[in-house]
Structure 1
């Protein structure tokens, strides 16, 4: 699929994760533009159940980086924001709100992700770079405590960003012929999957940093054949989510 050149879509299509940052701070003007772009994001039923916590305390940021798996780029990034699903604010206005539904959990995650991606698109349009930090869920209960999140609120994902010191090469995506279906789900073509697997092997072998001889399927095995944060459901239920 091809598209007519457009500054916005060109920026989106040129996305790469950035984990190396200069010491230059992000200007107040840019910070406001990024947050206002996030705040303008779509909201399910206009519930507005996302809260962003900007981490400016260096000790707190270092602790969050440690809990996220010793992610040094979180410390190096001038900015680190945590996007939270937040029904507490709605409950303040509507004390009798019927919370605890699994659908509300999904909505909270979806809306937080939409805001985060709006912020990401905005910062890249401003010439900045960043990377998500799902690792904050490695020790989600401790992160929750450090951020002093009330009941019916939990951290979904972090976003570290700033002025890029280095940008990675574009990572090939699965082709649209596999990921874009019409009217109903279509089983992926094994030959196309195999071709993409080899394309990713070539990418991993020749990229400028962290080169390795592995295919995409090897990476899937590494991630999908192990236990994934089994404590999360218990945590969410204690926080008032996914009870029914």
Structure 2
């Protein structure tokens, strides 16, 4: 068997044998949900699956607020930038980085705890993101759809007050969960050669790769079944580095006890 034939054989074998990889590659953000509730038993299993994610030193530095109160969901939908699916999805979760529980446990064990370290912020945020992604994958494996809500950080202090979050806990993002009532196309990703480096960081080909990817994204945006627009990946990035910088975040995190020491 030639080397090229071996590559195609391996690709076909992986696709045939590994539905998990295909599930991961088929992710779409869902923003329209059926009026159908997720059974409580399934919901709790999804959260347990999240708990099985990797966690730094077994700290498990996260808490999830399951926002059930309709008025609170409506308020958070507005605070997150007017996103109606926050209020309309079957379930809405706010994933919080939480160092409070672990710090207090260490203190009860006799430690003189140092608070406000940058590493604590990183550990808690990464733990939370890993946990949430496990919940996302588990949800999609059950035919559910989801949408992350980074707009939580538009007004994190107001969200924290609604959810009664104590010091050393902050809301990282939200997640809408439910049964999909739409079937959007899968959004293209950067080519592997743009993000996979060998031995050291190199960017010699980045301009050409991004230019080609902009063409791919322009075709996608113009051809997709809803919200068509004539734009590119690079154009879509511009607001992230201008109007969406969220300069309030540093002061907010300091106030939450997540300093930069």
Question: Hey, what does 1:81 align to over in structure 2?
Answer: 93
Aligned to 1:180: 196
Matched, 1:204 2:216: no
Could you list the runs of 5+ residues in structure 1 that have no partner in the other structure? none
SS in 1 for 2:181: strand
- C-alpha change, 1:227 and 1:55, in structure 2 (3 Å) is closer
2 CA distance for matches of 1:201 and 1:223? 18
Match for residue 218 of structure 1 among 214, 235, 241: 235
User: Which structure has the greater CA radius of gyration?
Assistant: 2
C-alpha deviations, 1:169-218, integer Å up to 9, x for none? 01110010111111111205122211110110010111111100111111
- Of 211, 217, 220 in structure 2, the residue corresponding to residue 194 of structure 1 is 211
Contact 1:130 1:160 in 2 (8 A): yes
Per the normalisation by structure 2, the TM-score is: 0.90
* 1:108-150 per-position Cα deviation (integer Å, ceiling 9, x unaligned): 1111000110000000000000100010110000111111111
Counterpart-to-counterpart distance in 2, 1:142 and 1:119: 25
3-state DSSP of counterpart to 1:83: strand
Q: In the alignment, what sits opposite 1:50?
A: 62
Count of matched residue pairs = 244
> 2:76 pairs with 37, 52, 64, which one?
64
Moved more, 165-174 or 218-227: 218-227
Find 2:147's aligned residue among 106, 131, 134: 131
Query: Greater CA deviation, 226-235 or 147-156?
Result: 226-235
Aligned position for 2:53: 41
CA distance in structure 2 between the aligned counterparts of 1:67 and 1:225, rounded to whole angstroms: 20
- For 1:173 and 1:139, how far apart are their aligned partners in 2? 29
Deviations 1:65-99 (A, max 9, x none): 11001100111101101111111111222233212
Q: Is the contact made by 1:17 and 1:167 (CA closer than 8 Å) also made in structure 2?
A: no
- Which residue, 100, 104, 117 being the options, matches 2:133? 117
Unaligned runs of 5+ in 2: 1-6
With the length of structure 1 as denominator, give the TM-score of the two structures: 0.96
159-168 vs 24-33, which moves further: 24-33
Please name the residue that 1:94 is paired with. 106
Choose the corresponding residue for 1:145, options 156, 161, 164: 161
Take 2:209 and 2:121, find their aligned partners in 1: how far apart are those partners? 35
- TM-superposed CA distance for 1:40, in Å, is 1.0
Which structure: greater helix fraction?
2
For 2:31, which of 9, 16, 19 is the aligned residue?
Answer: 19
